A and B are shown apart, each in its own frame.
Chain A
Amino acid sequence: MPTDIDWNSSTREPIEKSYITLTVNGEPHRLGIGSQQDEIAPSHTLAYTLRESLGFTGTKIGCDHGACGACTVIMDGEAVQSCSILTIECDGKSILTIEGLEVNGQLHPLQQAFIDHTAFQCGFCTPGIIMSTKALLDANPSPTEDDIKQELAGHFCRCISHYLVIKAVMAAAGRER
């Protein structure tokens, strides 16, 4: 509770670091802050950094306004929209993108389930949906259909693959109807 703010000791201005560290798919990155070509500007979103600075183009940008889910990645275990987070505010975070699911050339079972159930057409929304699903299954390995619908409510699929997505997720969770 801020009632007892020590105004003498806490009212200085913060001292800013000149870089942040970000772990992406297990690999640490040290990213300088600034306006040079290879630096992270304060206005860069996480989605932008992942795609443009680090080359993880599996993460898609659809609406860029938190309203479609295409840019979803897992940050410290939670599915979040990388278009609505500033990279500079992610210091010390660990990010998992769609590229991090594959192990030794082997698709993740979730990815395989999406293919098996043709749970996409164009595939633009798929990386985001898979990342949300991954976080869901990590926290709750046997979700109900309703849990899945709730979790994926923020994802838009313009190809109307939603029904097949639910089938794929249920299958991956071993709860096929």
Chain B
Amino acid sequence: MRAFEHYNAKTTGEAVTLLKKYGSKAKLSAGGTDLLGKLKDEVLPEYPEVLINIKTIPDLDYIREDDGTLKIGALTKLSKIATSSIIKERYDIISQAAQSVGSPQIRRVGTIGGNLCQDVRCWYYRYPDHVGGRILCYLKGGQGCYALTGENRYHSIFGGCRVNGSACSSACPAGVDIPLYLSLIRDGDWHKAAEVLLEANPFPSVTGRVCSHPCEQKCNRGDFDESVSVRAIERFIGDYILDNASAIIKPAESYTGKSVAIIGSGPAGLSAAYYLNASGYRVTVFDRMPEAGGMLTNGIPAYRLPKDVVKRVLESLEKAGVEFKLQANIGKDITLEALRKEYDSVFLATGAWNQPSIGVEGESMAKPGLELLTNVNRGLKEIPGKKVVVIGGGNVAVDLGITVLRLGAEKVTIACLESREEMPALESEIEQAIEEGVKLMPSWGPARIIESAGKVTGIEMVQCSSVFDAEGIFSPTYDDSIRKAVKADQIILAVGQTADISYIDPALPLKVNRGLIVIDPKTQETSMPGIFAGGEVTSGPATVIEAVIAGHRAATAIDHYLRGAEIKDGHIKEKTDSPLLMFNSECLRKTSRVSRPIVPISERRLYVEDAPGLDLAEVEAEAKRCFNCSCVAVNASDMAVVLIALAAKIVITGPGGIRIVPAQDFFDSLVNVLEVDEILTEIQVPRPLENTSQTFIKFRLRGAIDFAIVSVASAITLNSGVCDDARIVLGAVAPKPIRAVAAEQTITGRALNTTVVEAAAEAAVTGSLPLNMNEYKVRITKTLVKRALSSPDPGTAAQ
């Protein structure tokens, strides 16, 4: 075992104080029978720096009955529980379960608290770190579950529990709960799926087309066969949302009476508008352009993002109550100060539209790239030239290259300082440009635009030897001796647009740095109270999804600001403590991803979308491929099963005092709901009614030492042969103990004859989701439930 510090806590208070001090760096040691194994094998996500011995707390070892409630101190040994006469008499399944744990030696040392808090069982998780390397699964902070597609005979048959988020959602800049909406699609609940998506991303119809989908790059399925086509599904739901916009994107239920002005109608502004409107603020979006949408309308070419999609997005916002004021020139028509007075808050999202000067002779002859894209998006189809050189290596440059080619240019060259590998544009888009005939000239910088009689005739380039310095800062160096002249009749500049903030009166105390508005990155607040900013006007050129997130964050912060609450980081992250997660069992077989390649070159047009979308059946099939990445280990605590069956409660002590939770809820998240500074201190069990029959059955390979493969505990109250009340709990079948609610309902109000018992056994496993190797556990579960319900006397159990 590696070293750790060790403390002997003499009171619960001391233990809590230490836990509070060391947080996740500390571990409690009760009996130590589960803990020491994990320390020796170094399997814990974080090796503890401190061990707090709680065996030394004297007042947590007791069994007594107070007012019809059995109370067991957390440090009571299992051997004592197994032989306690009070427990044997009235709560017999507790003593049976205690007696079934491990071996006599384990029971003499192991405590009931430690038993309930023990870690899950999974041989990948528990595989010793020093033998062949660490198996870095979800539970250890990794990105994948080995059991899901590996050796899983002892694992869950009821789905998994999410740990540390999922790979795809963690990779999504917006943190969209991807597996959740995919599971809703599998359930056929499109409306809910749309809502989940909209919670983090208001424009899936847009991002479903233009996002660089880091979620797919990180998808765990990629290591198994092929990643899930998340973006294509997102696009489908995005279009579904637009098709049903009136039912999904609705005005707020009530409006607060406060108003917000948003300057700029690009993705950042629209995103803020969407969320603020939904939270009940009157939103007015100003834009200097004749059409709203910013980059979405003017920048991104229609073959990637059809303009009717953007129009429908804008319409849906308008119908939901967002007001647009176009051709409004802030700074000229109305000043920022006036807006700030008129509205309760202002959000600046004016983007980055300026073409910076690059200081090259003849520069004035060149055309600014964004202007050309805007013109083309407005339908202006003039050919800029026959031989065109685009300067720049980002996505705008690549969009320009393809656009100019499709406009009819004969030869298009993209020249950039970066080497081919360093080009910032998306690889897939560079490849598409090359495929369509665009020539690349990486590692070349413009030296001089050559003209003759007022017309461009070419450009002189100089070799660029490096773009970034040792610290990664943009600082190009050239080899002046290597030069090249390229013939061209048009030069287009696409070299990193800058923000135009000239509309802001420099006298205002608004902090600006290098031409960008300075903000608090967590809240998007500027240096002026009530004024927020986001998108490219604060970051410089970035992506659509990043702008959308900034808008969302700003909306949350503005909402807090206007409600007078403390301004917090407003971006929603995925919850990790969801209920059991289901997937489609077919996902465990190897399959290929459903995707539609973009149309052949001969069919590609300027104003028609290149990439076809998926149809309904394809989306449904693809959603079924998602693993719903989760941990499928089992909780094998025998005490948990019987305590839940007897409706026990768990007393938890923390820095703020005690809280009491039903035993069932104690296991609501993986491994339990304890906070890092809390201790389980007592178990309380209400005395069962006289006519309650209790059964505990544990199925395992060997009669001692082994953990349960399946266990069942039941507490059935019978009145003249009819079941009044039933609690049936299954152990070792899922990451937490499972109440077989359907089975309980099947027998309640009925006499327990063979037919009813059969039906209950069947009900107990409905909705089960066996993995490749553990179908057998479903059958064992059924049999055990049948046996438990057929057991003639209270308290008779087989092992």
Contacts and interface: CB of A to CB of B under 8 A. Distances in A.
B2 A154 contact: no
Contacts of A7: 13
Interface in B95-113: 102-106, 108-109
A66 B37 contact: yes
Contacts of B10: 14
Interface stretch (A83-91, A94-102, A110-118, A163-171): A83-91
B307 interface: no
Contacts of A16: 6-8
Contacts of B658: 2-3
Contacts of B32: 84-86, 89
Interface string B176-212: 0000000000000000000000000000000000000
A51 to B, nearest CB: 15
Contacts of A65: 37, 40
Given A45-B36, A84-B33, A86-B6, A5 B13 contact: yes
Nearest to A82: B105
B678 to A, nearest CB: 11
B105 A132 contact: yes
A21 to B, nearest CB: 14
A134 to B, nearest CB: 13
Contacts of A81: 105-106, 109
Most buried by A among B11, B29, B653: B11
Task: Give the size category of A's interface with B.
Answer: 35 or more
A88 B6 contact: yes
A38 B251 CA distance: 75
B298 to A, nearest CB: 63
A10 B12 contact: yes
Interface stretch (B14-22, B277-285, B599-607, B737-745): B14-22
Interface in B685-718: 703-705
Interface stretch (A22-30, A52-60, A72-80): A72-80
Contact of A66 (B4, B18, B33, B39): B33
A141 B653 CA distance: 43
Question: In the complex, which of the residues A44, A64, A89, A155 has the most CB atoms of chain B within 10 Å of its own CB atom?
Answer: A89
Nearest to B50: A42
A10 B682 contact: no
B51 interface: yes
Interface in B425-439: none
A137 interface: no
Contacts of B14: 10-14
B104 A43 contact: no
A154 B99 CA distance: 13
A80 B102 CA distance: 12
Contacts of A127: none
A5 B653 contact: yes
A107 interface: no
Nearest to B682: A1
Contacts of A42: 3-6, 51
B3 A35 contact: yes
A6 interface: yes
A91 B6 CA distance: 13
B59 to A, nearest CB: 8
Given A11-B17, A78-B108, A64 B40 contact: yes
A86 B39 CA distance: 12
A161 B105 CA distance: 20
B387 interface: no
A41 interface: yes
Contacts of B39: 43
A1 B36 CA distance: 27
Contact of B2 (A3, A9, A43): A43
A35 B447 CA distance: 68
B748 interface: no
Contacts of A33: 6
From A6, A86, A151, name the one whose CB has the most chain B CB atoms within 10 angstroms: A86
Nearest to B704: A153
B657 to A, nearest CB: 8
Interface string B583-626: 00000000000000000000000000000000000000000000
B164 interface: no
B53 interface: yes
Contacts of B56: 89
A43 B3 contact: yes
A1 B71 contact: yes
Top 4 A-B pairs, shortest CB-CB distance: A154-B103, A10-B13, A153-B704, A42-B6
Given A2-B681, A85-B36, A153-B704, 7 more contacts: A2-B59, A2-B653, A14-B10, A42-B3, A67-B705, A84-B37, A154-B104
29 contacts: A1-B681, A2-B59, A2-B60, A2-B681, A13-B18, A14-B8, A16-B7, A42-B5, A42-B51, A45-B36, A66-B33, A66-B37, A66-B103, A66-B106, A69-B105, A72-B105, A78-B108, A79-B105, A80-B108, A81-B109, A84-B36, A84-B106, A84-B109, A91-B8, A132-B105, A151-B104, A153-B103, A154-B106, A154-B704
Interface of A: 1-3, 5-7, 9-14, 16, 33, 35, 41-45, 64-67, 69, 72, 78-81, 83-86, 88-89, 91, 132, 150-151, 153-155
